[in-house]
Amino acid sequence: MQLPPPVHSQLPPSGYPPSLLGPPPPAMPAPVSGPAVSAAPAAPKPRRAGFVLATIAILVTLGLGAVVIVQSRQISDLRGDLDQARAESGNAQASDDQRLDSLEGQVTQLGEQADQVFDPQAVAAAVLPSVFRITAGKLTGTAFAVGSPRSGSSRLLTAYHVVQEVWGRGANTVQLERDGETYSATVTDVDPGNDIAVLSAPFEFAGLATATEPVKSGQQIVVVGSPLGLTDSVTVGVVSAFRKGEAGAADLIQFDASINPGNSGGPVVNTSKQVVGIASLKARDAEGIGLATPIQTACAKFRVC
C-alpha cells in the first residue's frame, strides 16, 4: 500500500511564522555585467558669467590704455623738461662764457695797467745787468747791450762822441767794465751825425729790448749810466718834448731826468723796460734838460735791434 507524500512544514528557516516576522526583505538584484552607464552632461553655465568676463576684459583694456596715455604724457613732459633744461644749460654756458671773456678782458686790462705803473726799481733791476762803463782813450761814458747774442758775441750801442778820439786815430778797441770785470770790445760802425756808435764784444751779454713805437711827451723814463765814472747810477724823469737835431740829423728826445758827463751813450728806458733813446748831451748851465737820440734811428741805421 502506497503511503501519501509527507507534508512539509511551510515555516521559514527561522522557525517562526511569517505573521510574526513580517514580510521578507526584497531580494537584491543580481549584478548585471556590461558597459558602464555615462554621467548625464552638465547643464550649460548661465550667460551672466560670460558678460562679467567681457566687462572685466574691457575695463582692464581701458585701464591699460589710460596708463599708456598717462605715461606717454609724462614722457612727453619729461622730454620737454629735458629740452628746456638743455636750453637753459646752453644759455647758462653762453652767459658763463661771456662772463669769462669779460673777466679775461679785465685781467688783460689790469695787466696792461700794471705794466704801465711806474716802478723805477723794477726797471733799473731789469736794465742794469746790460749796462757797462766804457773807456775809450781818455774819455769814459756808458754803453749797453742790445738784442740777442749771436754766435757767442754781443752788440752794444753808445754815443759816437765817447769813442770819437779812438775812432779818429784809426783805432777801434775800447774797454767795458761791469761788476769789477773788464771786457774788450771793438767799434764796428759809427754815425757821427746822429751821435751813434756800434760795438761788438766776443761775449754773450743779456741784450735790452727796444721800443717799436716812438716815445711821447709826458711818458715816464729811467736813465741808467756812469756819470763822472759812477757806475750803475739811475735817474728818473719824463719826456719833456722833441727838439730838432742838426741838419740831416733825427729829432732829439728832451727829458728832465738828471744826467752828467759819463751818462753819454747810456739807455733811456720806458716803463716797459724798453730802450727808447740813447743819452747824448745836456744843456750847459742848466739842470733838467737832457737830450737823447731816438732808438728807432739806430735800429733803422744799423739793424741791431
Of 130, 233, 264, 280, the active-site residue reads 264
Q: In whole angstroms, give the CA distance from residue 200 to residue 181.
A: 17
Q: In whole angstroms, give the CA distance from residue 142 to residue 273.
A: 18
Q: In whole angstroms, give the CA distance from residue 209 to residue 147.
A: 6
- Sign for the CA dihedral angle at 298, 303, 304, 305 comes to positive
Q: CA triplet 237, 241, 246: central angle to 5 degrees? A: 120
Q: Which of 193, 146, 137, 145 is nearest to 166 (CA)?
A: 137
Element (H, E) at 90: helix 48-116
Q: Which of 248, 240, 249 is nearest to 291 (CA)?
A: 240
Of 161, 232, 240, 251, the active-site residue reads 161
> Is 8 in the active site?
no
Q: CA triplet 243, 304, 200: central angle to 5 degrees? A: 110
Output the DSSP codes for 21-77: H-SPPPPPPPP--SPPPPPPPPPPPPTHHHHHHHHHHHHHHHHHHHHHHHHHHHHHH
Q: In whole angstroms, give the CA distance from residue 213 to residue 274.
A: 10
DSSP alpha helix (H) spans, 117-147: 120-127
Of 154, 195, 233, 280, the active-site residue reads 195
Q: In whole angstroms, give the CA distance from residue 290 to residue 112.
A: 29
> How many Å is the Cα radius of gyration of the chain?
62
Active site residues: 161, 195, 264
